[in-house]
Structure 1
Amino acid sequence: MKNINKYTKIKNFSLLTYYALVVIRIVLVFIPQYGYIHPDEFFQTSEVISGETFQLEATRTWEFNTTMPIRSYAIPFFYLRIPMAIFRIFSTFSRIILNFDLLSSYTLLVFPRVIMCILSFVNDFSVFKICSLYNLKYDIRLMALASSGVMLTFGIRSFSNSVEMLLCSLLLYFVSDSMILSNTVIYQKEYLEEKYEKAKKVGERVKYFKMKMSLPQHSYNNFAILSTICIVGIFNRPTFMLFGFPTIFHWMIRGFGTRSVTFFDFNIRMLLFIISGLPTLFVIIIIDSLYYGYLSLAQIYIMDVKIESFLVTPVNFFRYNLIPENTAKHGEHPKWLHMLINIPLLYNVLGIIAVFTFGSMFYKFCKKEFNNLPHSQSFVSLMTSAVFAPVLLLSLFNHQEPRFIIPITVPLIMLHAPKLITGINVTSFLKESKWNVAKFLSNYIDITISGKIILRLWFLANVMFTLFFGFIHQAGVVQLADYFSKYHQMQPSSKQIHLVTSHIYKLPESLLILPHASSLYTNPQTGQTYKMKRRFFIHEYGGLKMEEMFKKTKLLSDVAENRMTTKNINYDLFVAVPTSKAFELNQIFHKHRGIFSFKEERIFYPHLSTEAFPNIHQVFHPCEIDIVDENEFDEQCVEDEVLLSSAVWTRKFTSIAQQFGLVVYKIEVKHKSF
């Protein structure tokens, strides 16, 4: 009775926490999260879609070039382009009827995340259905999923990895459904066959034969939907092949080792799986071929279609990524990064438990202790392979980012979420270790980490993860875009605006709401068509040193001054850098104060660029403009540090805090040349 009451309390707590976290997930979309996790959130999906839907200036990255495109347009077309087209209709009506424009930097940021937030509940659905199939506790697993920092940040962003995650979750559900059905039907079939063989009377044999024939078909269950998911997954992100292979393999080998299933069934399953995916494959290839200009409707109409007219983007993706020099351009990482760093980073305590559990299983496999390993067609085998087979395969590539492995979220939680309640026994890991010292210690110590401790660590780590990636990391960039989207609308159409940036991620140009320069517009009064002149220019210099950036800014100002003199084109010049670089930049401008005057226009907090970490030894305020002589300042700082006064420590703390920002300076030229 006590155990029942305890379980009921745990279940109620877990479900209430889950529902609260669902609300938080939705709220985090609308707040919104200004944290800028990675440029691919924008430049692989929403940037291109927004630019085309609303005819805005947008950055079209190399992945969408027409010579060798590696990103399929068909997948984001269905889940983002169509909803955005509907949103555009509402925006047009609201502007005409209500005189209120729905189109803004905020809505372009939030709308794709609303779509992704809705789609993210596919993961929740899959967890619930899998738990129902295997009669597992769904409450703790749903709570663990909803509280994961991965779901609260990556899951509601327009990453192709987030779509890959939900497709992997669906794949796991349908394969689990097929496995349960096959296991049930095969068991009943073999039981009835045994009864049939033992029956002596004809009537009994007829009864058992009819019962066996009434059993549902199971061998080819869900083959069409599984094939469709795989085709969509591969075109969304070709690495889906690595995530889908172990799951589909478990679907293929269902029932092996019994009299009911043979290699003939395996071959038929494979054939049906391949054939059923052809319609989806054909539709996606046609859409991509039309979009990138390899194929036209006119060619289809006159039946002038050749093999070169069809584009298969995953082929280009693999052609590009199989060349080590290409992946090295995006960063080279050690082979162990996914296993030892990225899994613990994404899943903290559960990730560490998962790695150690897999290590224990691998050790048993190497020792040929196969009896102590899960059966190849079991739930544990399915989920373990869904986690570690793709991670190990992805580890072979030299470019590794945490977001690449977020599709393992659901299977990892399915395996290890209950430990948030039950806890773990560390001694059992020591006993299975290959190290004699660990085995020796396991005889004398008994270390058990309670579920309460693990649960608290889980919540704490995920809160920190969400705060960092959701609200701090590069968070000033999106705020910067929002600021200039309003600023340029208030300026006269004849004025040009130049923005120089350094040590921050690439600015999503679509968030600036700039009309596309090549688009034709019609004057409603005269009926004449015209084009908008581009008047906002972004000059991004990545991690360039401040001295080099100053030289480029000086050259840019010279060109702008010349145009103002010869063509009467007025301009504004701004520089945006992390506040951790502000003092260095101030010193440079201070040396040239006879040429430039500059003022602090705005600081956006919080913002942290890993390319420009705050200087903890700094005791000055980074955005100060009226600085004293550098030598006098250093001497004064030394005297203050020796005194160790409370004022110095207060100033030091505020100095460090102020470095977590993004500062914008407006630059004006006093003289046209040095």
Structure 2
Amino acid sequence: MRKALESKEKRISSYKLLLLGFLVAFGIFNRVTFVAWLVLPSIFVFRYGFRNKLQSLLAVQSFLFFCLIFIAADSYYFTGSINTSIITPLNNLLYNSKTSNLAQHGLHPYYQHILVNYPTMFGPLIFLAFPFTTNSIRSTSFLTMASGMIVLSLVPHQELRFLIPMVPLWASCINISRSTTNKVFVVLWIPFNLGMLVFMGKLHQGGVVPALQELQQYPGNYSKKRDISICDRLHGFKVRIPRAVAIGHYAVKGTCPSHRSRERHARFQKHQSPLPPALEL
């Protein structure tokens, strides 16, 4: 749409508008923070929409149509029926809009993304992009990257992995020349990644998969003391119950006999949807 506006094209193909509606719906239902990356680039969409109001309705209709499909799919998955509507992105947004809920997963300062997570992702290569060139700043990739960074920085719970969509956008905004200085940064980037592989891949996240494999060994009989002990330990260490696909009966039933688990199960029954914690941002 930006290209059509800048080249003064009157209309773009209806197929592209239908595809746009599908991609936006799919992105939102896949991860609610997808919207964060669309705020600034959507300026061009609205400008085109005001210029071609009638044709732009195709994108809106496509978006609503696929939203209904995804709602029906989620409803059937979580409740076994499509009679009760489950709007997963809405539930996710409502949960994460409360600071008290985010506090259970950790609160961070608003500069966490820009001063800590962003440099941690790229390491020495960050110097290749600073300062960005004028052409890069005017690009759609930069607007998308800036949009996600700004919006996600307003959320008090900030994890490095929330910025992963920024990687291809950032890469398209830099120009790796053959200068000696750039070669030095590229060479330093190799040991940096090896170090982060050990730190983030093993020391930081290395216990997730073994923990899920261990939980899969336990049946869903909560009357046994052994199962009660496992549930209490999970909630004692503030570890949320993973999805059903990860540990089966635990996530489906959500009835571990601890006090916090009973509260979560009650909220599950009220909203008819698994609570989407901050980790699902």
TM over 0.5: yes
The question of 1:272 aligning with 2:3 is answered no
| CA distance 1:384–1:352, change in 2 (3 Å) | same
Shift of 1:227: 1.5
| CA distance 1:185–1:221, change in 2 (3 Å) | farther
Contact 2:112 2:158 survives alignment (8 Å): yes
Shift of 1:410: 0.7
Question: SS in structure 1 opposite 2:173?
Answer: helix
The question of 1:542 aligning with 2:221 is answered no
Q: Which amino acid aligns with 1:326?
A: N
CA distance in 1, matches of 2:171, 2:86: 37
Deviations 1:220-271 (A, max 9, x none): 55112221121111112111111133344345546xxxxxxx9432x34542
The question of 1:401 aligning with 2:176 is answered no
CA distance in 2, matches of 1:310, 1:475: 37
Shift of 1:535: 6.0
Deviations 1:29-71 (A, max 9, x none): xxxxxxxxxxxxxxxxxxxxxxxxxxxxxxxxxxxxxxxxxxx
> Which of the residues 186, 189, 195 maps onto 1:455?
186
The question of 1:472 aligning with 2:203 is answered yes
Shift of 1:322: 1.8
CA distance in 2, matches of 1:347, 1:269: 41
CA distance in 1, matches of 2:64, 2:208: 43
Flag the structure with higher helix content.
2
Q: Which amino acid aligns with 1:280?
A: F
Q: Which amino acid aligns with 2:165?
A: P
Structure 2 gap ranges (5+): 239-281
The structure with more radius of gyration: 1
The question of 1:287 aligning with 2:62 is answered no
CA distance in 2, matches of 1:314, 1:283: 14
Deviations 1:267-322 (A, max 9, x none): 345422211112211111112222333x736xxxxxxx5xxx32212112222222
Q: How does 1:80-119 map to 2 (within 5 A)?
A: none
Question: SS in structure 1 opposite 2:188?
Answer: helix
| CA distance 1:413–1:312, change in 2 (3 Å) | same
Deviations 1:454-497 (A, max 9, x none): 2112222222222322233353564xx4xxxxxxxxxxxxxxxx
Residue aligning to 2:122? 347
Shift of 1:335: 0.9
| CA distance 1:387–1:344, change in 2 (3 Å) | same
The question of 1:225 aligning with 2:11 is answered no
| CA distance 1:357–1:327, change in 2 (3 Å) | same
Q: Which amino acid aligns with 1:460?
A: P
Contact 1:380 1:415 survives alignment (8 Å): no
Q: Which has the higher contact order (CA 8 A, sep 6+)?
A: 2
The question of 1:333 aligning with 2:64 is answered no
Count of residues paired in the alignment:
233
Residue aligning to 2:170? 412
Contact 1:231 1:277 survives alignment (8 Å): yes
Question: SS in structure 2 opposite 1:468?
Answer: helix
| CA distance 1:310–1:513, change in 2 (3 Å) | closer
CA distance in 1, matches of 2:40, 2:33: 13
> Which of the residues 300, 306, 313 maps onto 2:88?
313
Q: Which amino acid aligns with 1:264?
A: R
Q: Report percent identity of matched pairs.
A: 28
| CA distance 1:513–1:401, change in 2 (3 Å) | closer
Q: CA RMSD in A?
A: 3.4
Contact 2:128 2:182 survives alignment (8 Å): no
Residue aligning to 2:131? 357
> Which of the residues 229, 235, 251 maps onto 2:29?
235
CA distance in 1, matches of 2:89, 2:203: 34
Shift of 1:353: 4.5
CA distance in 1, matches of 2:44, 2:8: 17
| CA distance 1:220–1:311, change in 2 (3 Å) | same
Residue aligning to 1:591? none
CA distance in 1, matches of 2:190, 2:64: 44
| CA distance 1:227–1:349, change in 2 (3 Å) | farther
| CA distance 1:315–1:470, change in 2 (3 Å) | same
Q: Which amino acid aligns with 2:23?
A: I
CA distance in 1, matches of 2:208, 2:167: 28
The question of 1:390 aligning with 2:148 is answered yes
The question of 1:249 aligning with 2:40 is answered no
CA distance in 2, matches of 1:353, 1:280: 40
| CA distance 1:535–1:542, change in 2 (3 Å) | closer
Contact 2:17 2:56 survives alignment (8 Å): no
Q: Which amino acid aligns with 2:51?
A: F
Shift of 1:350: 3.2
| CA distance 1:477–1:409, change in 2 (3 Å) | closer
| CA distance 1:289–1:185, change in 2 (3 Å) | same
Contact 2:137 2:143 survives alignment (8 Å): no
Residue aligning to 1:492? none
CA distance in 2, matches of 1:462, 1:253: 42
CA distance in 1, matches of 2:158, 2:55: 34
Contact 1:252 1:270 survives alignment (8 Å): no
Question: SS in structure 1 opposite 2:37?
Answer: helix
Contact 2:25 2:63 survives alignment (8 Å): yes
| CA distance 1:291–1:221, change in 2 (3 Å) | closer
Q: Which amino acid aligns with 2:164?
A: I
CA distance in 1, matches of 2:58, 2:131: 36
Contact 2:41 2:144 survives alignment (8 Å): yes
Question: SS in structure 2 opposite 1:384?
Answer: helix
CA distance in 2, matches of 1:242, 1:411: 14
The question of 1:514 aligning with 2:217 is answered yes
| CA distance 1:250–1:220, change in 2 (3 Å) | farther
Flag the structure with higher strand content.
1
Contact 2:19 2:59 survives alignment (8 Å): no
Shift of 1:409: 0.9
| CA distance 1:339–1:279, change in 2 (3 Å) | same
Shift of 1:183: 5.8
